[in-house]
Amino acid sequence: MKIAFFSPHSDPLAEPGQPDSGGQCIYERQVAIHLARQGHEVRVFTRLWGDKRPQESIADGAAVHRYPMGPPGFLRKEDMGPYIAEFAAAVISDRRVWLESADAFHGHYWDGGVSALAAGLSLGKPVVFTAHSLGALKRDRLPDPDPEGATFRYDIRLAAERRILGAADGVITLGKVEQRALVERCGCDPGKIAVIPGGVELSEFRVAGDKRTLQRELGFNTDYVLFTVGRLDPRKGFLELLEAMPRVLRGLADAGMSATLLMPMGQERPAPAEMAYRARLQERAKALGIEGAIHWFPRLSDEALRQRYSAADLFLCPSPYEPFGLVLAEAFASGTPVVATVHGGPSEIVSPGEDGYLADPEDPEEFSSAILKALLLPPPDRRKMQACAFAKAENRFAWESVATRVADVYRGLDGKAG
């Protein structure tokens, strides 16, 4: 099959951690690679900006094609609305022949949904939509801080998602929480939804032979190492995590133990919003008197990142809302249990007591209790949790089977639209 991904803001070759680049980039890249390995051809249409090249290969059979859209520099995903029609028109006029021979158009996130739909309606092709994050669910947890609604533009986003979901021929969601919301909150026909989780590239992550030895090699000498990673974005809940840390450190000190928290400090040249958030985090750590227990790490190479995943005793995902949580699958593939937010996709990934715990990051007492519970388990129980975490990554999150199931959705569209 020939598959067109439409994804204006999320470039599959962008480095996760940059503004508006995260799990969705990894998802699109890995699904494209694995579809191509299975003999399909994938083209990802995304935005051309900065010093990116108009065309780049992802793997044999999968490529990125970039088109200008709006101003030349970075554009927040929330501000893309007015330029999406222009983007779809540019893609169609340049790639019409290929698009006419394609089997399915797959829109990612609402900006991708709008462009896939515009192209699909123009050329009579079936359209699949993956929201990656749903406006209605995000708004419940993160209302717009701007009284005019200019930060998250929920007005445009929610209306667009409803319309895309009504018109799409197929919908892929990464989890059941979102599946329910698609039906109950957005009026989506349940018959056209397929639930297919995200994945992890098992060959890229490693389980440490002995976590303690690896921690010492990396220069961490406390009894425990806690690890979290993500863009410096309030949506990732790092500030909430800091609020939980004094209680964690006190609890450990009572048991005669200590911990280091590995916290990201963003990119070398952060955008103003990122810089402001970093300053808030560092000031708050100081005010809470916990800076001594925090190791702020700059942007890391893939290898260094993976070492920290496997060295950590516990991975933390404190987002007030997390649509899926690919980072949890990465932690599991590294043999590392997690404490993750109870809000969103993680509740379907984590089996509490087996491979981690779920807690509300906005309740510092609850979140810190979950961390302490995981750390203070007797060593044989902790080793069992590590083994369960890895087994889950192996059994549930292989990209190859994700891609097979996504391809089945495209196959099932035969005869729809077109």
Residues that bind ligand F6P (CB under 6 A): 9-10, 20-24, 77, 109, 132-133, 138, 235, 323
C-beta of 208: minimal distance to ligand F6P in Å? 28
Query: How many angstroms separate the CA atoms of 376 and 378, rounded?
Result: 6
From the CB of 389, what's the least distance to ligand F6P, in Å?
Answer: 23
CA 320/CA 237 separation, integer angstroms: 6
Name beta bridge partners: 314: 226
The dihedral through the CA atoms of 9, 14, 20, 24 has a sign that is positive
Taking the least distance from each CB to ligand F6P, the nearer of 14 and 413 is: 14
Structure token pair of residue 148: 């005019």
Q: Which CB atom, from 12 or from 356, has the smaller least distance to ligand F6P?
A: 12
For the CB of residue 237, give the shortest distance to ligand F6P in the complex, in Å: 12
Name the residue nearer to ligand F6P (CB basis): 144 or 363. Answer: 144
CA distance 193 to 134: 14
Of 26 and 398, CB closest to ligand F6P: 26
CB of 133 to ligand F6P, least distance (A): 3
Euclidean distance between CA atoms 80 and 63, whole angstroms: 23
Query: Contact at 8 Å (CB) between 110 and 135?
Result: yes
Judged by DSSP in three states, 206 sits in coil
Nearer to ligand F6P, 142 or 391 (CB): 142
Classify strands 356-359 and 55-59 as parallel, antiparallel or unpaired. Answer: unpaired
DSSP character at residue 15:
P
Select 9 or 125, whichever has its Cβ closest to ligand F6P.
Answer: 9
Pull the structure tokens for residue 124: 């009579």
